[in-house]
Chain A
Amino acid sequence: MNLTVNGSPVSLTSDGETPLLTALRDELGLVGTRFGCGQGLCGACHVNVDGAVLPSCQTPLWQVEGRSVTTVEGLGRDGAPHPVQQAIVDHQAAQCGFCISGIVVTAAALLEQEPDADADRVAEALDRNLCRCGAQRRIVGAVLAARRPT
């Protein structure tokens, strides 16, 4: 299986039915994408595939062959976090943080497509991301702060 992960071509030995999440974590060691439910219902494993946000636990490798996958590790690089990541730290918009990888990926994709998204739109975009600690309102505030200055 050949695909691009965080800008680099990779060749995976896992078979095509292997969930992308398992391949990312187990074969590539990219553990920033979290396993939350394995059923595509919590958002903790969200990744960006050619601009679309997908639950990687429900995405078999064959479906992403030849495509470009961006994980949370690919959004922020050494010393240069993505604006959404920086805003979440600035606003302390997390508690346990387990949901945050998927939220960062989802919110970054939203702001890419809708740089002026308002609070309702951010909450709507994050509808498939669950947060159990109750940091939702802080997270929405952080995503709004991460918008490009207009």
Chain B
Amino acid sequence: MSDLPAHVVANPRLGTWVTAAPDRLHVEVHVGKVELGQGIVTALAQIAADALGLPLSRIRMVPAHTTHGPDQGLTAGSLSVTQTGPALRHVGAVVRALADPSAEGYVERIAALDPDTDLRVAPTAGSVTSAAVGCSTPRLDLPDKVLGRPRYLADLRPEGLLHGRVLRPPSVGATLAELDPDWKAPGVELVRDGSFVGVVGEREVDVDRALEQLRRDCRWDEQDLLPDEDDLPAWLRTGPHEEIAVLDEGGPETVALTASYSKPFLVHASIAPSVGLARWGDGTLRAWSHSQGIHPLRAAIAQALALDPAAVEVEHVENAGCYGHNAADDAAFDAVLLARAVPGRPVLARWTRPDELAWAPLSSAMTVTVSAGLVDGRITGWCYDVWSQGHTSRPGFRGTPGLLAGASLATPVPLPPPSDPPLATGGGTTRNAVPIYDVGPRRIVGHRKAETPLRTSAMRALGSYLNVFAIESFVDELADAAGADPVEFRLAHLSDPRAAHVVATAAELAGWSDPLPEDVGRGLGFARYKDRGAYCAVVAEVAAASTVAVRRLTVVADLGLVVNPDGARNQLEGGATQATSWTTTERVRFDRRRITSDDWESYPILRFAQAPAVDVHLVESTAPSLGSGEAAQGPTAAAIANAVQRALGVRVRDLPLDADAVVRAIDQSA
């Protein structure tokens, strides 16, 4: 019993996981993990095929659903394979024990199984050899997307569909002061509840035009609530804070080196604006969402509107990649609120591009101060403080719904300051704040800002991005101080053989000691994500002069047993490329009242010609599988900064690492 997978214990009913398709040829596999563009549904189909003893072509993956499928919480934290793989293997072993896969009529026998079979006590067959796992199976969802078939949530056209738009306030904390009670626009109906205003209509062109008219016709009371964008580290260090005590072993006896690092606010910047679809009727509220957690979303909607959760159903439908907690849940709630005004009619509420960049939860700005002792080339103690806003405002956080529109309702459902995931699941502010190196006594503390006007939440890697950037930049600074090569210095402080292997392999494959032209540098960054996830080292080759051009990234990862090698490579390539964009280009802009970076010109992201070549090498392993989607971000940032240092001899400690930052660093070092 004790070795039962946790997600089987939480979802012990056989029919929650596996059903026979009506054609009696295919087996339907229900998972609570959702496709975000990371290829997880394909990887889980591979695992399910092997577990059930069927070819992949006989598996049908069913989108996550709060009523019909398992509750697996969030699709987040690079945990989907880690959590779902063992569950599917157990479910498959039960099915094979009860339905004999070796004889004809297997699917018919699966259809005849009691869906209420208790997976915790049912007999299990022995394990099977892998057939699908380990293969680079092409993504099941890609053909539809590449051929332009309806696949995304905004493509759904249910009977009686109405389009909806919500007018967001112009700034944080703004309240609606004035709107003509007889306001009208062609082809639409106004929906208002307090400062929440929106329109619904039959035709998309009408709701788009009505939204612009509404924007002109609403008067708002606004306040200057935002901090000074140019002084974020000082603002982050100003209390009150919630203290997060990670480790207190005393720290170094004598400090040899101290440095501070920072990152600005970033935003997920999904290519698709968020969208939600909802319909009230027959005593049930139905919503379709690209949320990362349809069960928490259902609970949040029910809590916000004082509904019985059993009367709310949420089904997952894909949208563009979200890279964390973007506005998916908020858009679903917008659709719910708009649809409440038109019972029986489905309402598709789509956000605008400016709202997606300015109103989706942000990734928090952060700052770090780290100091260390250094004696005879060895690190002899480590003291680390990190200041940040919280890294989760997901539905259900701090016991609240956490849905944006709630704060605007006549009876508000407030949005408290962001929190962090528990340390046991990796934390947020302090994720990867503990160095993997042997550094002597450590004192590591997180300081989470307790009051803030800016809503922040999980973006890929959470606090790990800045913590790894800071630690890995600082390790290079310590190596310089010790007169040591950065790779040799790391290897001398690494006692985990898997870590050392990844670092050494990355250096070797990147030609670490090969000569480079002037103004070109090579730098390395390394981490084990969340201290127990994937090992990943990145070597960046950067040309730094009037611009910072990341030319090549060599990525080496130990992911344990890899379910789909090409899928894992794609995730690492994408993670490293996106992190190159964060590191060299991105910064949320604002004045004291409004977020001003609300289009692709004011919030630029990496373009095709700027994307580095990425070479990925996966370490062969049969260790338990580890997720790949968040492994490369922190190491990439540090590798780029370390490469710039080696190219130009200047250290950039404040992101983004763009041409301006290089100029500032040169000025400071002069």
Binary flags per residue of B130-142, CB closer than 8 Å to A gives 1, else 0: 0000001011011
Given contacts A94-B145, A95-B39, A130-B271, 10 further A-B contacts (CB under 8 A): A31-B155, A35-B272, A38-B208, A41-B353, A44-B271, A92-B142, A95-B574, A97-B151, A100-B146, A138-B573
CB proximity of A15 to chain B, nearest CB, Å: 8
Whether A22 contacts B157 in the complex (CB less than 8 A), given A35-B272, A81-B146, A99-B271, comes out as: no
B152 touching A98, Cβ below 8 Å:
yes
Closest 4 CB pairs of A and B: A32-B148, A96-B37, A134-B577, A97-B145
- Point out the residue from B139, B157, B578, B605 that lies within 8 Å of A29, measured CB to CB: B157
CB proximity of B239 to chain A, nearest CB, Å: 35
Q: How many residues of B contact A (CB 8 A)?
A: 63
Binary flags per residue of A85-125, CB closer than 8 Å to B gives 1, else 0: 10011001011111111001000000000000000101110
Stretch of B373-381, B407-415, B607-615 on the interface side: B607-615
B350 nearest CB neighbor, chain A only: A35
A132 touching B570, Cβ below 8 Å:
no
Report A's interface with B, CB cutoff 8 A.
14-15, 18-19, 22-23, 25-26, 29-39, 41-42, 44, 71-73, 76, 81, 85, 88-89, 92, 94-101, 104, 120, 122-124, 126-127, 129-140
CB proximity of A124 to chain B, nearest CB, Å: 6
Tell me the complex Cα distance, A37–B602, Å. 13
A133 touching B154, Cβ below 8 Å:
no
Tell me the complex Cα distance, A92–B37, Å. 12
Q: Which residues of A contact B463 (CB under 8 A)?
A: none
Residue of A18, A35, A123 contacting most chain B CB atoms (<10 Å): A35
A41 touching B320, Cβ below 8 Å:
no
Residue of B39, B154, B605, B608 contacting most chain A CB atoms (<10 Å): B608
Q: Which residues of A contact B151 (CB under 8 A)?
A: 97
A38 touching B352, Cβ below 8 Å:
yes
Q: Which residues of A contact B319 (CB under 8 A)?
A: 96, 98
CB proximity of A73 to chain B, nearest CB, Å: 5
B271 touching A101, Cβ below 8 Å:
no
Residue of A19, A25, A132 contacting most chain B CB atoms (<10 Å): A132
Tell me the complex Cα distance, A118–B84, Å. 42
A104 nearest CB neighbor, chain B only: B146
Q: Which residues of B contact A81 (CB under 8 A)?
A: 146-147
B152 touching A140, Cβ below 8 Å:
no
CB proximity of A60 to chain B, nearest CB, Å: 11
Q: Which residues of A contact B136 (CB under 8 A)?
A: 92
A31 touching B154, Cβ below 8 Å:
yes
- Point out the residue from B145, B204, B600 that lies within 8 Å of A25, measured CB to CB: B204
A133 touching B321, Cβ below 8 Å:
yes
CB proximity of B160 to chain A, nearest CB, Å: 15
Tell me the complex Cα distance, A35–B153, Å. 12
A137 touching B37, Cβ below 8 Å:
no
Q: Which residues of A contact B149 (CB under 8 A)?
A: 32
Asked if B143 is an interface residue, CB under 8 A from chain A, the answer is: yes
A132 touching B320, Cβ below 8 Å:
yes
Asked if B305 is an interface residue, CB under 8 A from chain A, the answer is: no
Q: Can you list 23 A-B contacts with CB-CB less than 8 angstroms, sorted by A residue number? A: A18-B205, A22-B205, A26-B204, A31-B148, A31-B155, A32-B148, A36-B271, A37-B273, A39-B599, A42-B271, A92-B139, A94-B37, A96-B37, A97-B141, A97-B142, A98-B320, A98-B321, A104-B146, A122-B608, A132-B269, A133-B37, A134-B581, A138-B570
Asked if B624 is an interface residue, CB under 8 A from chain A, the answer is: no
A88 touching B146, Cβ below 8 Å:
yes
Asked if B606 is an interface residue, CB under 8 A from chain A, the answer is: yes
A95 touching B37, Cβ below 8 Å:
yes
B146 touching A132, Cβ below 8 Å:
no
CB proximity of A26 to chain B, nearest CB, Å: 4
Tell me the complex Cα distance, A139–B142, Å. 13
Q: Which residues of A contact B27 (CB under 8 A)?
A: none
CB proximity of A33 to chain B, nearest CB, Å: 7
Whether A94 contacts B154 in the complex (CB less than 8 A), given A133-B578, A136-B577, comes out as: no
A32 touching B147, Cβ below 8 Å:
yes
Interface residues of B in 432-453 (CB under 8 A from A): none
Tell me the complex Cα distance, A132–B511, Å. 29
A97 touching B37, Cβ below 8 Å:
yes
Asked if B36 is an interface residue, CB under 8 A from chain A, the answer is: yes
Q: Which residues of A contact B566 (CB under 8 A)?
A: 92
A134 touching B573, Cβ below 8 Å:
yes
CB proximity of B217 to chain A, nearest CB, Å: 20
Binary flags per residue of B505-531, CB closer than 8 Å to A gives 1, else 0: 000000000000000000000000000
Binary flags per residue of B438-476, CB closer than 8 Å to A gives 1, else 0: 000000000000000000000000000000000000000
Q: Which residues of B contact A129 (CB under 8 A)?
A: 608
Whether A34 contacts B614 in the complex (CB less than 8 A), given A26-B205, A136-B606, comes out as: no
A130 touching B321, Cβ below 8 Å:
no
Q: Which residues of B contact A85 (CB under 8 A)?
A: 146-147
A89 touching B157, Cβ below 8 Å:
no
Tell me the complex Cα distance, A3–B155, Å. 23
Binary flags per residue of B254-292, CB closer than 8 Å to A gives 1, else 0: 000000000000000111110000000000000000000
CB proximity of A120 to chain B, nearest CB, Å: 8
B148 touching A135, Cβ below 8 Å:
no
Tell me the complex Cα distance, A37–B147, Å. 21
Whether A22 contacts B204 in the complex (CB less than 8 A), given A42-B271, A95-B39, A98-B152, comes out as: yes
Tell me the complex Cα distance, A127–B608, Å. 6
Whether A134 contacts B609 in the complex (CB less than 8 A), given A33-B148, A35-B272, comes out as: no
B607 touching A94, Cβ below 8 Å:
no
Q: Which residues of A contact B75 (CB under 8 A)?
A: none
Asked if B203 is an interface residue, CB under 8 A from chain A, the answer is: yes
A123 touching B147, Cβ below 8 Å:
no
A132 touching B353, Cβ below 8 Å:
no
B575 touching A136, Cβ below 8 Å:
no
A39 touching B152, Cβ below 8 Å:
no
CB proximity of B56 to chain A, nearest CB, Å: 16
B38 touching A72, Cβ below 8 Å:
no
CB proximity of B363 to chain A, nearest CB, Å: 14
Whether A124 contacts B142 in the complex (CB less than 8 A), given A39-B600, A96-B36, A131-B271, comes out as: no
